[in-house]
Amino acid sequence: MRTEKKQRLGQLRHWRIRKKVIGTKDRPRMSVCFTNQNIHVQFIDDLAGVTLAAASTLNKGDAKGKKSSANVISAKAVGTKAAEAAKGKGINQVVFDRGTARYHGKVKALADAAREAGLKF
């Protein structure tokens, strides 16, 4: 029962955010997805339905022997890597979409690292 409530609240949070956040070609949506093992970031143009750039912890050589790749340290690394991938595609400004996650811990670390690497949002 408790898990169902948490999932329902997460879904409501996701709908509330997606109602307001729309990515364009000039300012794409930076979508963040966290699983128990990995972190994924995509830069999406919602009007065209196209992913412009992406980064995640699944790339070889990024885990460096860590047991779990979905932690704050990895989130900082993925945030920096995602910003570099976006800069390579000519993306400077984004709209941040945190999905169902609350803005603290891994999400905040990823966002701060992306801002430090030069993305504006």
39-80 pLDDT per residue, tens: 999 999 999 999 999 999 987 655 555 556 889 999 999 999
Dump pLDDT digits (tens) for 91-116.
999 999 998 888 999 999 999 999 99
Q: What is the CATH number of the domain that holds 82?
A: 3.30.420.100
Q: Which domain holds residue 17?
A: 2-116
DSSP helix/strand/coil, 120: strand
Q: Is the residue at 32 inside a domain?
A: yes
- pLDDT for position 37: 92
Q: Is the residue at 121 inside a domain?
A: no
Question: What mean pLDDT comes out for the span 86-91?
Answer: 96
Dump pLDDT digits (tens) for 14-29.
899 889 999 999 999 9
- pLDDT for position 69: 80
- pLDDT for position 62: 55
- pLDDT for position 68: 62
The number of domains in the chain is: 1
Q: Is the residue at 95 inside a domain?
A: yes
pTM to 2 decimals?
Answer: 0.84
Q: Is the residue at 105 inside a domain?
A: yes
Q: What's the Cα-to-Cα distance from 76 to each of 23, 44, 64, 115, 119, rounded to whole Å?
A: 23, 20, 14, 11, 14
Question: What mean pLDDT comes out for the span 82-90?
Answer: 96
- pLDDT for position 60: 61
